[in-house]
Structure 1
């Protein structure tokens, strides 16, 4: 009796099964042998991180990134620093810069499989890796992890390291891109680990990885803000689910494996009283899967708790950052199968009475061609976050009261700022051109590995 099926289906014992395959990696490493490992993607530009000829399977993604805004001239020119960002506290006077607090929503990741002309994965880079609201937070689950330094925890735009372990098979081609739709240069360190196979996956069996980000800001709630969640007045029947928030809607055959869910609740009571309703294939009413509440879908109860389990949990809890909640649910041991179509929905409050800021990233596998996935413009993706405007010194009356020395110091700072920014822009342009060349070299390197693998089988 063969043990292949048993070994191939078990995470821990699959390494003990002999397979004809070749493991490889594409990364951002500095191919000149120096230490400028980060790729630079200038505003409005797209970087091709990987373009791999199949058949094969991506097995792991590791991403670390930053996007820095220069607030004032530093004492160390970037062209002489050798680093992608100055990790020095601004209070020390050596530099004056910050992370763009919104960049996790401004930069998007796209993935294409085989002959797909439109992306099969499209999401803001943060939300794809379960970093909601552009707010950094540690968490661990089976398919995704985020690692954040204590000083960056719960910060908008905080520095973080991402991992994704979901398998992404392809027969002909895999292409992964990063598009910078922000105003500042974006830096990307990355590993893309994959394995090559000698023969194509069975077209009747292969399902392709998909992910898509959606947002409603606000959700289309029918109740006024002062109608309390769980009050008598919210007891309205919902017997069709038509007003629910849609997490995923697609046609084809496949498997829904879960989502992350970010909510900013404005009312100050409770956001999660809505039921999950999943309509499969020819469902009308009731759907194949009908739940009992938001926290119940995320497999918690009596509200959400501050924990992160392999398949469900909380990334940001509303008690830590009032109003903000980020949750996740992975249907890996309990996949949701569909043969022709699926619609995954969740009520925003009972019978959809709440008007909150909701966004989700859905993850699923399906046959190709997949749906045409689109993403809102940057302005519609930016997170809701508190903002404080400092007083301005632009008032002409204020300027007239300055001493000659004070005016001289301001002019000196402006001149130094221009020189510092000019130096950094030249450095960024050089790094950007080097990143484009590395992308080409990575593509050629992947072709050489594939040829060597196939030649070894002859």
Structure 2
């Protein structure tokens, strides 16, 4: 790797610095509290430099603190954040949950995913500010952090600024054909547009896209992953310069994966605890460190939610990219209530589905569940 090749090179005009939560009195009280509804400024750096590493850990009585606390970063005196995401989602933990996550630029490390790490380089020419907003109604009682950075006399003119944006959508099923993925309930229609896709990146300016966290909560046992990724670069028309073949294909896996796999560049950090099929929460990720997606004017990155957008899914993403400033403002981050999880589908819910199936097939007392293969709903039978 080039980074290893550069390790032996001696450099001038660079000074290593750190801002941390260490106890200024010399004691061992090395954390800071963030009361509910307040902002904690972690770093305010003057001049030019590059943030090289962020580490943090925390404790709170709020079990959803990873979704209820938000990290924001500002470069060069800007008033709109270039990074805005709930804490857990940014570092690689979805749904406010706590679990280990491994990749090259981001990690949630032991013990049990408490240690949140970021190695994305973040250059700035005239100052940087990093804050954590506790939007919970409970205290973030202990926040520990390191922000390791370099002071530079100046940074190159071609240094893009780091950006990360959180998005969420509860997608619509096909209004005419219903949820129809993979099982082929009816013939599926082609999709010749990205109009109804889930959009994870809507960027203006010059830059390159470097990564995506994809957190999907699926309310059915149906395979969720036939959605193609689509990239419209600099305002081009569909099908665009890059067009994928399926969700799991974009995340560099194959054939409906349902197992954990953690590669430095891609993987499945979390898969559902099985009731059946693909019901529940899956976290997949891909970092395009060797193959960024370049754009000169704009980028629209999207993915189908099932082939031709036929599925209801709760999709949350964090997109990562570098670009020139100023960037297109993100818009207001959904409030805490709008960031909470959808209720988990349970065995009880599935039993209710079976009861409705029984009614649809005439209420027969010996229905097994595969009658739809041989007769239509409404037909009676034993």
Q: TM-score, normalised by structure 2?
A: 0.85
1:232 is displaced (CA, Å) by: 4.8
1:67/1:41 CA distance change after superposition, 3 Å: same
Go from structure 1 to structure 2 and tell me whether the alpha carbon gap of 1:116 and 1:206 turns closer, same or farther (over 3 Å shift): same
Q: Which of 150, 156, 160 in structure 2 is aligned with 1:195?
A: 150
Q: Using the alignment, how far apart are the partners of 1:173 and 1:253 within structure 2? A: 21
2:297 pairs, out of 312, 335, 340, with 340
Residues 245/234 of structure 1: CA separation in 2 closer, same or farther (3 Å cut): farther
* Structure showing greater Rg: 1
SS of structure 2 residue aligned to 1:134: coil
The question of 1:109 aligning with 2:71 is answered: yes
SS in 1 for 2:89: helix
1:380-399 matches, cutoff 5 A: 380-386=338-344
Unaligned runs of 5+ in 2: 347-382
Q: Which residue of 2 aligns with 1:14?
A: 6
- The Cα shift of 1:19 comes to 1.2
Q: 2:242 aligns with which of 289, 309, 316?
A: 289
Partner Cα separation in structure 2 for residue 50 and residue 234 of structure 1:
55
Q: Cα–Cα, structure 1 residues 282 and 258, in superposed 2: closer, same or farther, change >3 Å?
A: same
Report if the CA contact (8 A) 2:84-2:164 is conserved.
Answer: yes
Which SS does the other structure have where 2:261 is aligned?
coil
Q: CA deviation at 1:61?
A: 0.6
Q: Does 1:378 align with 2:315?
A: no
Rounded Cα–Cα distance in structure 1 between residues aligned with 2:96 and 2:40:
21
Does residue 1:24 correspond to 2:21, yes or no?
Answer: no
After TM superposition, list the pairs within 5 Å mapping 1:14-413 onto structure 2: 14-20=6-12, 21-68=14-61, 100-149=62-111, 160-186=114-140, 187-198=142-153, 200-203=154-157, 205-216=158-169, 218-223=170-175, 227-233=180-186, 235-304=188-257, 305-319=259-273, 322-373=279-330, 374-386=332-344
Shift of 1:385: 4.4
Contact 2:181 2:226 in 1 (8 A): no
Q: CA deviation at 1:386?
A: 4.4
TM-score when scaled to structure 1? 0.71
Query: Which deviates further from its counterpart, 379-388 or 177-186?
Result: 379-388
Q: For residue 116 of structure 1, report the CA deviation from its aligned partner.
A: 1.0
* Higher share of residues assigned helix: 1
2:2 is paired with a residue of what secondary structure?
Answer: coil
Cα deviation for residue 160 of structure 1 reads 1.4
The 8 Å contact of residues 226 and 267 in structure 1, kept in 2 or not, is answered as no
Q: CA deviation at 1:387?
A: 10
The equivalent of 1:417 in structure 2 is none
Alignment partner, residue 365 of structure 2: none
Separation of aligned partners in 1, 2:120 and 2:105: 6
CA distance in structure 2 between the partners assigned to 1:13 and 1:354 by the alignment: 47
Write the distance in 2 (CA, Å) between the matches of 1:320 and 1:52. 47
Contact 1:245 1:345 in 2 (8 A): yes
Secondary structure in 1 matching 2:10: coil
Q: Distance in 2 between matches of 1:189 and 1:133?
A: 22
Q: Which runs of 5+ in 1 are unaligned?
A: 1-8, 69-99, 153-158, 389-458
- SS of corresponding position for 1:201: coil
**Larger relative contact order (C-alpha < 8 A, sep ≥ 6)?**
1
2-side partners of 1:182 and 1:112: how far apart? 22
Using the TM superposition, give the Cα deviation of residue 286 of structure 1 relative to its aligned residue in structure 2, in angstroms: 1.4
CA contact (8 A) 1:234 1:353 kept: no
Displacement of 1:184 after TM fit? 0.7
